[in-house]
Structure formats: C-alpha cells, structure tokens
C-alpha cells in the first residue's frame, strides 16, 4: 500500500515538474541576479533586482532568461557592474538585446562565472554550519524544540530569541510580517516595524544568525534559525537564506496556492528553484500540511494531509533534497470533544512517522480548538507534547496556552517550554515501548487513512490521459486540499510567469542541477 501511494504521488507530481521546467518567473530571474551579487534598493526601497528584471522584460522579454541580456550589456560596456546597470536601466537608459553567436557565448560564460560565486558562497556557509555543529554540538535528543518570535522589530526579536534558546529552544523561527508573502519584492535592510511578525530581509537574517551564533557558543549547542521561503519571492528568500546560513525554511509546495491565492504555476516554478537552493545549502524544509486542518476537519480530511506529504516528498527529492531535510508537516488539530480524539491523533502521527521514517517530521500544536481558556490550552499542549514523544517526531513546535488570545509574553513561552521539558523528560523514550496492537483502533485508523489517501491519488489521476491541465492542478482547482479552489489561470503573480523559449539560459539552474561550482 505504501509503495502504491508513492508511485501514485510520482505520477501526479511529474507533469507539474515538467511544467516547472518549461517556465520561469520574475522571482527566479531576480534570485539569479542576487546570486551574482546584485543587492540594494533605490530611495523608495524598490530592490535593484526588480528594476533590472523589469527593464529586461520590457525590452526583450524573459523567455530567454535575464542572464544573456544582462551580461551582454555588461560585455558591451553599457555599465561597469550590475548595480550601475540596474540604475541606468531603471532610468530607461539601456537597450537590451538577446545576443547571438560569439556575443551569446561570452554572455553565457560571464553570467555563469558571476552566479557561480554566489553558489560557492552558499557552499561555504554550509561548511561553516557543519564546523559549528561539530564545535558546539547538536541538541542531546530529538525532537528539536522549535519556538517562535515575532515582535515586528528585529532588535526586539534578538533578545527574545536568545532568551528562548537559554530556556531550552533548539530552533528559533522568526515569523514574517503579515502579508509579506504577497509582496513581489524583498524589503531591504534591518526593519523595526511589522504586523504580527518581522519582515524577512537579508540584513535581518544576518543579524539574527550572528546573535544565535553567540548564543550557540554560550550554551554549547548549535541553535538553528528558521524563516519563510514562501510567497511571491520564494526563490529570492531561499537564496538569501542560503547566503546568510539559515538552517530551516518553511517551504510547502501548495501553501501559497491554497492560503495566499498565489497562482499555482507561479508557485510550482518558484518552489522547485527554491528547493534546489535549499538542497545545495543543506537547509531543512518545513512543509505546511498543518494549515489544511485549520480550514478542513482534522478527521475527515486526514488523508489529504498524507497525500500532501507524499507530494511534498516527491517534489523535494526531485529538486535534490535528502530525507534528513524533509520536515514534513502535520498537526494536533482534532476537536478534543470528539471521543477518542487522543487515540486518533496518535494514529495520524504514527502513520506519518512510519511513512517517512528518516524524515524529521514537524509536529504542530493545537490552534483551531484553543478557546482562550489557558488552563485547558495548557493541558491540550501537554497532550500534544506526549503524542510527539510517543511517535518520535523530529521537530516539535512549542504550543502556547495563550494561543488565540494574545501574542505570547516571555513568561508564556517560559511556561510552554516547562511543559515540553516535563513531558520529554518523563516520557521522551516512550516511542521504543509504544507498539499498538494490529487490530486495535490506532492501527486500524492508520490503515484507513492510508487507504483513503491512495483512493484520493487514484481519483486525482483518473484524468491523466485526458487533455488540459495536469491532474494535480485540476484537483487543486476543484478544492481537494484545504477546501480551497485555486484554478491555474488565476491567482496573484500570474503575470510574473513566462514560458521558456528554446534558447533559455539560467546559469543558476545549470549549476544547481549539475552540482558544479564553476
């Protein structure tokens, strides 16, 4: 049954990969320029990569990629460097062309050399992470304790993150400001204002990574840093994360489609490039299946989580990620008033663990059924922590008793960490003793959910031989996942999708797919 499920997921995913291989997006092209060293922004905080990609698109289109026109212009001495070229292009002072013959060869060679420097910088950061883990050590045991900070002000986030690490957190996640996923540019510099989160910028990444490096040295264990590679700038944020040595990134194949109404084709093209960057950088991805259960019933829709996990696994491995980088998501979101809710949660969590035995699964705490009763919430979080211990989850996000009430205080986080520590100290080894009987409720439920997942994949593929969109895109349009209907011809960012021409060139993709450094 498991082999059948994976085979069906591959069949559903392969046409979407083909679609991603035949298209590019404005964000993929901007990420390529960022790898070549182009950064900064104008006086209105519009990044130079946006100006340059927009100018190339207006001049000759993006069907051949941005690399050939840009490095052809540099080769013609239109400007001495990328920043100056972007500034001149923003003022309308550059006539771009798609070069041919010897000029094309020179532009291709020069662009590859420039982008390769960025790839080597990512390689260097990966080696530095390995050295620091060897020097400081990893957490003594799993699951890694994952805790969120989100003040909006990076200079307030830093001391909160350091305090959380001192209290036992192994992974610090800096939540992005609400709505950043819908910005088609990456803000510049350190930011001190954000709503329900802090903007993801290269400088904010650098500041937090440096602070956590100091704390890692102090504590004698390497503290990992997480942010979000999702939304309209997924490839660029993934690139910046690799350059600044982030360790985990939220990166789901369908989250932006379902919950941010981003165009499906844009999302699948962008996520493939971003995952290639993550693979090269040694970054662990966190997928977003937990979100499905905030809009759909956690019992009735349990099989859609399994299907999404299988698809995320296929897309991730196709892009080069390894099992240890697959932080596949799921959540403790069953209505606690349902009889046997705890046993059902155990069944779903154990199914995920047995389907993906080498993956560091990311286990998410209750949110949908948190009522504001902090005592009930604290107990629910304890049950959530217990399921994590009993089923060997790899990454455990700390639940907050004040969920749905306030942004957590430091004292709330301290109490939440005490809850986690108690459960893991008391029952951390319970996974080795927990073997539910084959004919009991837990195993029976797990087999039922897996069978429903296989049925759903077969239903999705029923139209494989027909004309039109890939079956997975048709299923997304029909509201199969998270009860959201998202057709491939609509959604934010569609105007940033471009079908590649026969002569398309992107040195970043070439280097990432070949594993080359030059």
Catalytic residues: 255, 290, 362
Task: Count other C-beta atoms under 10 Å from residue 214's C-beta.
Answer: 12
Task: Count other C-beta atoms under 10 Å from residue 139's C-beta.
Answer: 16
Q: How far is CA 281 from CA 128, 243, 518, in A?
A: 11, 8, 16
CA 334 to CA 370: how far, in whole Å?
11
Residue 286: what are its φ and ψ, rounded to 5°? -115, 125
**What number of residues does the chain have?**
518
Residue 112 and residue 35 in contact, taking contact as beta carbons nearer than 8 Å: no
Q: Which two tokens stand for residue 323?
A: 């099992």
Q: Which two tokens stand for residue 136?
A: 């400081």
CA 315 to CA 448: how far, in whole Å?
25
DSSP state of 320: T
| CB neighbour class for 310 (10 Å; exposed up to 12, middle 13-18, buried from 19) | buried
Residue 354: what are its φ and ψ, rounded to 5°? -75, -30
Q: How far is CA 157 from CA 140, 144, 176, 223, 399, in A?
A: 25, 20, 12, 15, 18
CA 223 to CA 220: how far, in whole Å?
9
Q: Which two tokens stand for residue 317?
A: 């491995």
CA 509 to CA 32: how far, in whole Å?
9
CA 437 to CA 163: how far, in whole Å?
43
DSSP state of 465: T
| CB neighbour class for 294 (10 Å; exposed up to 12, middle 13-18, buried from 19) | middle
Radius of gyration of the chain from Cα atoms? 23
Which residues are CB-neighbours of 86 under 8 A, at least 6 positions away? 38, 48, 49, 51, 52, 55
């Amino acid at each position: 049954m498991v082999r059948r499920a994976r085979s069906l997921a591959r069949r559903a995913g392969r046409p979407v990969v083909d679609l991603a291989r035949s298209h590019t997006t404005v964000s993929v092209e901007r990420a390529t320029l960022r790898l070549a060293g182009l950064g900064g922004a104008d006086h209105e905080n519009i990044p130079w990569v946006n100006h340059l990609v927009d100018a190339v698109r207006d001049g000759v289109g993006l069907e051949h990629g941005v690399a050939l026109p840009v490095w052809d212009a540099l080769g013609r001495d239109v400007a001495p460097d990328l920043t100056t070229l972007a500034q001149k292009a923003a003022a309308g002072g550059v006539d771009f062309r798609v070069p041919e013959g010897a000029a094309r060869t020179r532009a291709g060679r020069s662009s590859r050399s420039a982008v390769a420097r960025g790839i080597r910088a990512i390689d260097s950061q990966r080696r530095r992470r390995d050295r620091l883990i060897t020097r400081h050590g990893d957490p003594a045991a799993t699951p890694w304790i994952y805790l969120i900070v989100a003040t909006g002000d990076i200079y307030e986030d830093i001391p909160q993150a350091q305090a959380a690490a001192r209290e036992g957190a192994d992974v610090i996640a800096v939540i992005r400001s609400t709505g950043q996923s819908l910005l088609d540019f990456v803000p510049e510099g350190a930011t001190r204002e954000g709503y329900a989160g802090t903007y993801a910028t290269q400088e904010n990444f650098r500041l937090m990574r440096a602070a956590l490096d100091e704390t890692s040295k102090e504590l004698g264990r390497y503290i990992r840093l997480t942010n979000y590679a999702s939304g309209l700038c997924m490839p660029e944020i993934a690139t910046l994360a690799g350059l600044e040595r982030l360790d985990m990134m939220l990166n789901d194949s369908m989250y932006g489609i379902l919950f941010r109404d981003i165009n499906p084709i844009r999302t699948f093209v962008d996520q493939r490039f971003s995952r290639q960057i993550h693979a090269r950088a040694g970054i662990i991805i966190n997928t977003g299946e937990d979100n499905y259960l905030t809009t759909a019933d956690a019992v009735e829709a349990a099989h859609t989580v399994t299907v999404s996990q299988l698809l995320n696994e296929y897309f991730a491995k196709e892009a080069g990620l390894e099992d240890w980088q697959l932080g596949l998501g799921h959540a403790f979101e069953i209505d606690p008033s349902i009889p046997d809710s705890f046993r059902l949660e155990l069944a779903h969590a154990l199914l995920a663990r047995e389907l993906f035995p080498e993956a560091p699964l990311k286990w998410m705490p209750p949110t949908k059924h948190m009522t504001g009763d902090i005592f009930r919430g604290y107990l629910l979080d304890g049950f959530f922590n217990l399921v994590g211990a009993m089923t060997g989850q790899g990454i455990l996000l700390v639940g907050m008793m004040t969920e749905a009430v306030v942004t957590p205080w430091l004292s709330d986080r301290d109490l939440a960490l005490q809850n986690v520590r108690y459960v893991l100290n008391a029952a951390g080894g319970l996974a080795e003793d927990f073997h539910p009987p084959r004919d009991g409720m837990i195993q029976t439920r797990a087999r039922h959910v897996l069978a429903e997942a296989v049925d759903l994949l077969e239903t999705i593929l029923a139209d494989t031989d027909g004309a039109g969109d890939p079956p997975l895109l048709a299923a997304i349009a029909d509201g199969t996942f998270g009860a959201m209907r998202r057709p491939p011809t609509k959604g934010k960012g569609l105007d940033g999708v471009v079908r590649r021409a026969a002569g398309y060139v992107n040195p970043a993709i070439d280097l990432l797919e070949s594993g080359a450094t030059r």
